[in-house]
Amino acid sequence: MAPTADLTGRVILITGSNSGIGKAAATALARRGATVVMTSRNEARGRRALAEVTRRARVLDDRVVMLPLDLARLSSVRACAAEVLDRYDRLDVLVNNAGGIISDRRVTEDGFEMTIGVNHLGPFLLTQLLLDRLLASAPARIINTSSIAHRLGAISWADLERQRFYNGTDAYNQSKLANVLFTAELSRRFAPSGVVANCLHPGAVRSGFGAGGDTTGPERWILMAGRPFMVSPHRGAQPIIRLASLPEYETATGGYYVAGYLSRCARHQPSAAARDPEAARRLWALSEQLLDSVQPAA
């Protein structure tokens, strides 16, 4: 179990917190006194998760809430950010945790390939929309859930959205590499202003990841075969809990942390591709360019 810290008065936003490690982290951080903003794409699942978290964390007031957020819809990202800014005059921690793996090529409402759209472009936009509030609340923290799969990833600069050839695993690996590069560039730009950024690999976790028809074929079989060897969401959530709450991570930045059985939040070196500062800057610029190509609805 992660060491405890009093988080009374802290506001923490965790995306994808209706299940898995997001829900486990929301429970642990609410138990420590934080105001926790959970998000869910599905309203019914969100309501059930909110009820479970408030019960398990023994929260008797309204400091844990659930907001709708669909990272495949930029309008939903903007609406969620606007709601957070309207409700809270501070934001101490942003946890970009939601994501997925999809076997067949799909596109978001705004026309982006779904995997890069949900795993990177949606969180990128959400972070940008909330940056001023994080900076005003400094010291503040940004935490991005990546994966060990980033080590097999490569950014396809000429075809980021995999229009010419799509493979679900390759697209996922690319998006997880993007998470680490995004973290590095966030750290470079904003750590001097008091907003640190770190990312993590939670381990192989027993959750709903890849379910609901998102995976078929090899991806589906790999997830099913590995399930008996996966860790619990509570164990996988330890890096999020620690990075979000413990004083020693208030100034630590640009790190890639891995959950484990003994050392549950160990800093590891990411892949060589993830340590390329020029790639991090290039991805930031390309992400802005892609998002600028989609005009917000009037």
Helices 168-190 & 217-226, crossing angle to 10 degrees? 70
Residue with tokens 């192989």: 204
Q: Is the dihedral of CA 13, 286, 70, 100 positive or negative?
A: negative
Choose, from 172, 249, 256, 257, the residue flagged as catalytic: 172
Task: Specify whether the CB–CB gap between 244 and 93 falls below 8 A.
Answer: yes
Buried b (16+ CB within 10 A) or exposed e, 240-275: bbbbbbeeebeebbbbbbbbbeeebbeeeebbebbe
**What residues contact residue 193 under an 8 Å CB cut-off, 6+ apart?**
135, 138
The H or E element containing residue 257 is strand 256-258
Q: Active-site residue 88, yes or no?
A: no
Q: How far is CA 140 from CA 95, 171, 185, 186, in A?
A: 11, 31, 16, 12
Catalytic site positions: 172
